Structure 1
Amino acid sequence: MNQFIEHLLTVFMAFFAIMNPIANTTVFAGLTAGMSNTEQRKIAFKSLMITFVIIVLFAFLGKTIFHLFGISLPALRIAGGILVFLVGYHMLHGQSSKLHTAAASTDNNIAISPLAVPLLAGPGTIATAMNYSAAGGWQEITLTVASFAVLCLITFICFVFSSKIISAIGESGLSIVTRLMGLILAVIGVQMVIDGASAVIANIH
C-alpha cells in the first residue's frame, strides 16, 4: 500500500476510534432530547466547529508546545499512548472513559461543554493529533487536519440523524461498535508507547 494512503488511513482510524461517532451520537441525542431539529443542527455544528478548531490548534502548535515546555516527541508518544490505551480499555469493557465523559454542564450551552470538551476534543483526541502531526512536516499536519475534518463531517451527519441511527443499530449494536473501537484504540495506544520507548532506547544507545 502507498505510504501516503497508509498514513492517512492510520490517522483517520485513530481519530475515528477515539471520537467514536456512533457512541457519541447516543450522548448527543440524550443531551438534545426535546429540542427541535433546527436547534439540534445548530448545537451539532457549533460543537464540531469548536472541536475542529481545538484539534487544528494543537496539530499546528505541537512543535511549538514541545519547545516551550521542553517536551520530547518520545515523551508525548508514551504519555499519549497511555491516555489512548486507557480510553480504549474502558471502551473494551463497554464503559465510557472518564477522560471522555459528558459530565453535567452548569452552562446551558451544551455545544461547548460537555459536547466539544471533553466528549469530542478530550485529552486522548488532542494527544492523537499532536502525535501524528508533530512527528513530521507540513504534509503530516495537513493529513492530520484533513482526516479530522472528514471525521467531523461524518460525526455531524450522525448527530443530525441521531434518532434514526439509534433506532437502527439498537443497544446491542452500539455495544459491539464501542468494543471494536476500544480494541482498535488499545492497540494504537500500545503502538504509540512502543514507538516512544524505542526512540528513547535508541537515543540511549
Structure 2
Amino acid sequence: MTLILSTWVKFFFLFAPFFVVSMFLSLTKGATSQQRGKTANRAVMAAFLTSLILFFFGTPLFEVLGITLDSFRIGAGILLFLSAISLVREGVRVNAEVPDDQRDDISVVPLAIPTIIGPATIGTILVYGAELEGTAVLEGLAGMVLALVCLLILLHLASRLERLLGNTGLNILSKVTGLILAAMASEIVLSGLQGFISRSGL
C-alpha cells in the first residue's frame, strides 16, 4: 500500500495535472460540457495505453540498446529537470482555440501526447517501470492508474476549477508542480549517479 501511494503521488505530479487542465481548457474553448467530457475520456485513455506500453517496455528496451538503467536514470532525470524549469519559469501560456471540425483530433494529439505524455514523462515512466520487480510491478501500475484517474476527474471538473482558481491560480499550481518535479528529477539523477559510481567501484 505504501508503494502504491508513493507511486500515485509521483505519477500525479509527473503528469503535471494543472498544466494539463489549463491546456485542456484552452483547446476545448467553446466546446459543450458533453464534448469536453468525451475529449477528456479519450485523452486519458490514450495516455493510459501509452503509459502501459512504456511501463513494461523499459527493461527490454535497455537490454536491446545496451543501455544501463543508471545511465537512463541520469538522462531521464535531466530531461525531467528541464521540463520542471520550463513549468516554473513560464507557467501556463496557452491560447489555442480549435475549430469544431478538428475537436475530435485533439484528444490524442496534442492533449494525450505530448501534453500528458511528453518526452520527460516517457523517460521517467521507462525508468520507474524498469526499477520495479515482482509484485511491486503491480503496485506501481496501480499507482499510475490512480494518478490517471485523478487527472481524468480534474479534467471533468476543469470548468469549475477555472471559475474557482482562475488562470492565475492554475499558473501558481503549475509552478508548484514544477518545483516538485525538479525535486523528483534530482532524486532520479542522484540515484543514477550513485548506481554508476557503485558499479564502477569509485
TM over 0.5: yes
Matched, 1:18 2:8: no
Q: Is the CA contact (8 Å cut-off) linking 1:102 and 1:119 kept in structure 2?
A: no
Q: Is the CA contact (8 Å cut-off) linking 1:44 and 1:111 kept in structure 2?
A: yes
* Equivalent-residue separation in structure 1 for 2:66 and 2:52 (angstroms): 21
How many pairs were matched up?
198
Q: Is the CA contact (8 Å cut-off) linking 1:48 and 1:116 kept in structure 2?
A: yes
The CA deviation at 1:141 is: 2.3
* Equivalent-residue separation in structure 2 for 1:15 and 1:59 (angstroms): 12
Q: Is the deviation greater in 28-37 or in 131-140?
A: 131-140
Q: Give unmatched runs, 5+ long, in structure 2.
A: none
- Of 121, 124, 132 in structure 1, the residue corresponding to residue 117 of structure 2 is 121
Query: What is residue 42 of structure 2 aligned with on the other side?
Result: 46
Percent of pairs with identical residues: 27
Q: Is the deviation greater in 163-172 or in 47-56?
A: 163-172
Q: Is the deviation greater in 70-79 or in 168-177?
A: 168-177
Q: Is the deviation greater in 145-154 or in 113-122?
A: 145-154
The CA deviation at 1:202 is: 0.7
When the two chains are superposed, the root-mean-square deviation of aligned CA atoms in Å is 2.4
Q: Is the CA contact (8 Å cut-off) linking 1:84 and 1:185 kept in structure 2?
A: yes
Q: Is the CA contact (8 Å cut-off) linking 2:27 and 2:97 kept in structure 1?
A: no
Q: Kindly tell me: are residues 70 and 19 of structure 1, through their superposed partners in 2, closer, same or farther at Cα, counting changes over 3 Å?
A: same
Matched, 1:88 2:84: yes
Query: What is residue 158 of structure 1 aligned with on the other side?
Result: 154
Could you tell me the TM-score, scaled by structure 2's length?
A: 0.88
Q: Is the CA contact (8 Å cut-off) linking 1:55 and 1:129 kept in structure 2?
A: yes
Q: Is the deviation greater in 151-160 or in 44-53?
A: 151-160
Cα deviation digits, residues 131-165 of structure 1 (max 9, x gap): 12201213332223211211211111111121111
Q: Give unmatched runs, 5+ long, in structure 1.
A: none
The CA deviation at 1:103 is: 8.1
Query: What is residue 200 of structure 2 aligned with on the other side?
Result: 204
Q: Is the CA contact (8 Å cut-off) linking 1:19 and 1:120 kept in structure 2?
A: yes
Query: What is residue 180 of structure 1 aligned with on the other side?
Result: 176
Q: Is the deviation greater in 70-79 or in 137-146?
A: 137-146
